[in-house]
Amino acid sequence: MSLIKQLWIGIIVMLLLAMGGSFAISILSAKHYLEEQLHLKNLDNANSLALSLSQMEKDTVTLELLISAQFDTGHYEYIILTDPQNKTLLARHYDGAKNTPDPQDTPQWFTQLVNFDAAPGIAQVQDGWHQFGTLTVKSQSRYAWQALWSSTTQLFEWFFIAALISGALGTVFLKFISSPLDIVIKQAEAISERRFITSDEPKTKEFQRLVRAMNVLSHSVKIMLEKETKQLEILRRESHLDELTELPNRRHFLNLLESFLKREDSGSSGVIAIARVLNLSELNNQLGRAATDHALLQIAGVLHQFLEYYPGSYAGRLNGSDFMVVISTNPSAEAIGAELAKQLNAQLQSYNLLMLQLPIAACAFTSGAQPKELLHKLDGALAQAELKGNRALITLSNNYHPLAHRNLNEWREAITTALQQNQLQLAEFPVKNALGEIIHHEAPVRLYLDEKWQPAGYFMPWAARLGMMPAIDLDVIKTALNKLKDAVAPIAINISAEALCNAVFREQALKLLSTSLPKTYNLWIEFPESCALRHMAELRNFTIALRNAGCYVGLEHAGIEFTKIRELQDSGFHYLKIDSALIRDIHTNLGNQTFLQGLCKIGHSLGMIMIAEGVSCEAEKEKIIKLGVDALTGPWI
């Protein structure tokens, strides 16, 4: 029960007690007062009439006329004249004296509850020096009842108005003094959701102590998370990155490449390029270790800058002399190779490092290619570049690029037609917990293009370039909600970064979800890790709105480049899907095992379900369950 309701109940109880006591005292006092006044009136009237009768002739007609005149001009219950032997000589009674009448506008229950008993007035009537008789006069009580009822109703009305005023003022006052309690409640709710926020301390002493204690708790947990995150970041650098260039090392890069080639949302085609520093040992002897390291850093710097133009791409250092880059969009191998060679030459020239021999090879590939075959093909091209000399460039094009030669207008027309004809569907892949129970189905999007249901990687790069991802993702939400009518398990759908950053999409999506309750409680919505890196403000606000709509919200493909996991504490994510590059051969990779265990520990402390992607064998499954992962998906599952 809320404090406001308790306040109203308290006010009503206190007013009832006060009103009951006041009523009792008021009624008894008024009754006593009115009885005394009636008694005095009876005495005065009796004495006045007795004096008049004493001075008159005592014949019966005269006495009766005078008593009747007195009775008719006043409000009497009775007037009785008796002789000294108590024998009635004359008497006038009110017609209803035996059955006391109900006073006008006075309830009967009130007259029965408040029974007046005013003593009658008694006076002696003289006949000269002898007593003629005794006169008894009693006035009616009906007007006293009316007066008492009127004062009682006025008192009740005042108490009722006072109760309303007191309740209203008490409500306003309570809301004012309890406003710091709202802060504490929000902070407690945030902690229950693993969001460790701090609040300003209120002026109220009791609330001030409570908020201060909550702030200390939140601050302590934040410090703990920051320490864990720093240790995790150190571990990530040690196990995944080259110490000098901070590019992914060979093992991690090859895992990234395999994950990229097998992921459904990866581009349908791309380019992989390799650059090799020839005669590195001789160069090290000639220039010295420091100068050689400086030259390698310049090459790595070019690759870091190069990737900024191609989001979702990767670069790595395979060994001391080999650098490799994977471009996820659909450019030609010739264009990528030429641009990479141009930037490397410009950088080396600016640092007077033209003596470096740096042959380059580039090769186009399509989604689903085998990593070993692709690398073997690239090694052959690099061997040809080495034979040509210093800065030779060899590029190999793939003979088959599905839809690669279409222009943007053709892509726009094809995607628009598919959406208009409702040629969009969702696939289903199970995500299971350690006990083998399905927690939800992953539902990647398919579009019917070129007479075939195509995965997201086939059309997403073009749709993103055309600004059509918000429309596709909105249709994905509609399809998922329709599918949930008959679904036996929750459904997880993907939302792109382009849709997330579109205000119109966010508004339409929330409107659609608000009209689809309670189906939204079985809808899991996930965003790529890049959203948390580059669009955290939009992601945080949209996540809160999605949670309020009843959806589960999470990140997919996480852990590769995400180094700010502590910022997830106020994002409200329910789950985190760990990229398959971290899961690949984890049963033999001690570095990834330690990293994954630390990642799960922090994720669990933030209240998130940790899900592994791309599990491909029983050994991987057993190992990641031991490391703390809650659920799994991938070819083996």
Domain boundary among 174, 192, 211: 174
Is the predicted pLDDT of residue 329 greater than 80, yes or no?
Answer: no
User: In terms of domains, do 386 and 413 share one?
Assistant: no
Residue 96 CB contacts under 8 Å (≥ 6 apart), including other chains: none
Residue 530 CB contacts under 8 Å (≥ 6 apart), including other chains: 311, 312, 497
The pLDDT of 173-190, averaged and rounded, is: 74
Indicate whether 544 belongs to any domain.
Answer: yes
Q: Say how far apart CA 93 and CA 72 lie, in whole Å.
A: 11
Token pair 């030259």 is found at 295
Domain boundary among 150, 174, 198: 174
Indicate whether 622 belongs to any domain.
Answer: no
- CATH label of the domain that carries residue 283: 3.30.70.270
- Helix axis angle for 205-240 and 590-605, nearest 10°, is 170
Burial class (CB in 10 A: 0-12, 13-18, 19+), 512: middle
Is the predicted pLDDT of residue 562 greater than 70, yes or no?
Answer: no
Q: Which two tokens stand for residue 495?
A: 């939302």
Q: Say how far apart CA 320 and CA 176 lie, in whole Å.
A: 68
- CATH label of the domain that carries residue 149: 3.30.110.200
Residue 445 CB contacts under 8 Å (≥ 6 apart), including other chains: 424, 425, 426, 456, 472, 476, 493, 494
Indicate whether 610 belongs to any domain.
Answer: no
Q: What percent of the chain has pLDDT over 90?
A: 27
CA-wise closest residue to 153 among 275, 30, 246, 296: 30
CA-wise closest residue to 105 among 155, 147, 55: 147
The pLDDT of 403-413, averaged and rounded, is: 72
Q: Provide the residue range defining the domain that includes 385.
A: 241-396
Q: What's the confidence (pLDDT) of residue 549?
A: 92
User: In terms of domains, do 186 and 260 share one?
Assistant: no
Find the Cα–Cα–Cα–Cα dihedral 625, 630, 631, 632, rounded to 10°. -40
Please report, as a single letter, which amino acid is at residue 535.
H
Backbone angles phi, psi at 364, to 5 degrees: -80, 150
Long-range contacts from 3-6, C-beta under 8 angstroms, 24+ separation: 3/174, 3/178, 4/171, 4/174, 4/175
The length of the chain is: 637
Do the Cβ atoms of 331 and 462 come closer than 8 Å? no
User: In terms of domains, do 11 and 99 share one?
Assistant: yes
* Number of domains forming the structure of the chain: 4
3-state helix, strand, coil in the chain (%, to 5): 55, 15, 30
User: In terms of domains, do 317 and 201 share one?
Assistant: no
For residue 567, name the pLDDT band (cuts at 50, 70, 90): low
Do the Cβ atoms of 535 and 498 come closer than 8 Å? no
Q: What's the confidence (pLDDT) of residue 399?
A: 47
Hey, CA dihedral for 338, 340, 346, 352, is it positive or negative? negative
For residue 2, name the pLDDT band (cuts at 50, 70, 90): low
Q: Say how far apart CA 609 and CA 439 lie, in whole Å.
A: 11
CA-wise closest residue to 522 among 557, 555, 551: 551
The pLDDT of 499-503, averaged and rounded, is: 93
Relative to beta strand 360-366, strand 393-396 is parallel
Q: What's the confidence (pLDDT) of residue 401?
A: 47
Each residue's pLDDT tens digit, 424-434: 999 999 999 99
Find the Cα–Cα–Cα–Cα dihedral 189, 191, 197, 203, rounded to 10°. 60
Local structure of residue 566 (DSSP, 8 states): G
Indicate whether 592 belongs to any domain.
Answer: no
For residue 550, name the pLDDT band (cuts at 50, 70, 90): very high
Each residue's pLDDT tens digit, 455-483: 888 888 888 888 999 999 999 999 999 99
Do the Cβ atoms of 111 and 103 come closer than 8 Å? yes
Q: Say how far apart CA 70 and CA 214 lie, in whole Å.
A: 85
CA-wise closest residue to 630 among 489, 451, 433, 439: 433
Indicate whether 61 belongs to any domain.
Answer: yes
Is the predicted pLDDT of residue 511 greater than 70, yes or no?
Answer: yes
User: In terms of domains, do 335 and 452 share one?
Assistant: no
Q: Say how far apart CA 578 and CA 627 lie, in whole Å.
A: 13
Is the predicted pLDDT of residue 439 greater than 50, yes or no?
Answer: yes
User: In terms of domains, do 413 and 434 share one?
Assistant: yes
Token pair 């933030």 is found at 606
Q: Which two tokens stand for residue 615?
A: 């599990």
Backbone angles phi, psi at 360, to 5 degrees: -130, 140
- Between 6-15, 352-361, 408-417, the lowest mean confidence (pLDDT) is in 6-15
User: In terms of domains, do 250 and 373 share one?
Assistant: yes
Indicate whether 434 belongs to any domain.
Answer: yes
Q: What's the confidence (pLDDT) of residue 477?
A: 95
User: In terms of domains, do 18 and 166 share one?
Assistant: yes
Q: Say how far apart CA 252 and CA 249 lie, in whole Å.
A: 6
DSSP collapsed to 3 states, 27-79: HHHHHHHHHHHHHHHHHHHHHHHHHHHHCCCCCHHHHHHHHHHHHHHCCEEEE
- Helix axis angle for 456-466 and 469-483, nearest 10°, is 130
Q: Say how far apart CA 538 and CA 503 lie, in whole Å.
A: 9
User: In terms of domains, do 505 and 474 share one?
Assistant: yes
Query: Other C-beta atoms within 10 Å of 451: how many?
Result: 6
Residue 464 CB contacts under 8 Å (≥ 6 apart), including other chains: 496, 498
For residue 99, name the pLDDT band (cuts at 50, 70, 90): very low
Q: What's the confidence (pLDDT) of residue 5?
A: 72
Query: Other C-beta atoms within 10 Å of 567: how many?
Result: 15
Indicate whether 418 belongs to any domain.
Answer: yes
Indicate whether 547 belongs to any domain.
Answer: yes
For residue 554, name the pLDDT band (cuts at 50, 70, 90): very high
Backbone angles phi, psi at 125, to 5 degrees: -100, 125
Q: Is 206 helix (H, G, I), strand (E, B) or coil?
A: helix
User: Which of 112-116, 134-138, 468-472 reaches the highest mean pLDDT?
Assistant: 468-472
Q: Which two tokens stand for residue 551?
A: 């959806």
Query: Other C-beta atoms within 10 Å of 379: how many?
Result: 14
Q: What's the confidence (pLDDT) of residue 570?
A: 66
Burial class (CB in 10 A: 0-12, 13-18, 19+), 606: buried
User: In terms of domains, do 381 and 416 share one?
Assistant: no
Q: Is 396 helix (H, G, I), strand (E, B) or coil?
A: strand
Domain boundary among 573, 600, 631: 573
Alpha helix locations (H) across 401-535?
408-420, 456-466, 469-483, 497-500, 503-514, 529-534
User: In terms of domains, do 120 and 197 share one?
Assistant: no
Average pLDDT, the chain: 84
- CATH label of the domain that carries residue 495: 3.20.20.450
Each residue's pLDDT tens digit, 588-611: 999 889 989 988 988 888 888 999
Q: Say how far apart CA 225 and CA 171 lie, in whole Å.
A: 41
Please report, as a single letter, which amino acid is at residue 283.
L
Token pair 């400086």 is found at 294
CA-wise closest residue to 493 among 429, 543, 541, 537: 429
Q: What's the confidence (pLDDT) of residue 564?
A: 58
CA-wise closest residue to 559 among 540, 538, 580: 580
User: In terms of domains, do 88 and 167 share one?
Assistant: yes
Question: CA angle, 635 as apex, 634 and 637 as ends, to 5°?
Answer: 65
Do the Cβ atoms of 391 and 358 come closer than 8 Å? yes
Is the predicted pLDDT of residue 402 greater than 60, yes or no?
Answer: no
Q: Which two tokens stand for residue 623?
A: 């190992």
Each residue's pLDDT tens digit, 182-208: 777 777 777 666 667 777 777 777 777
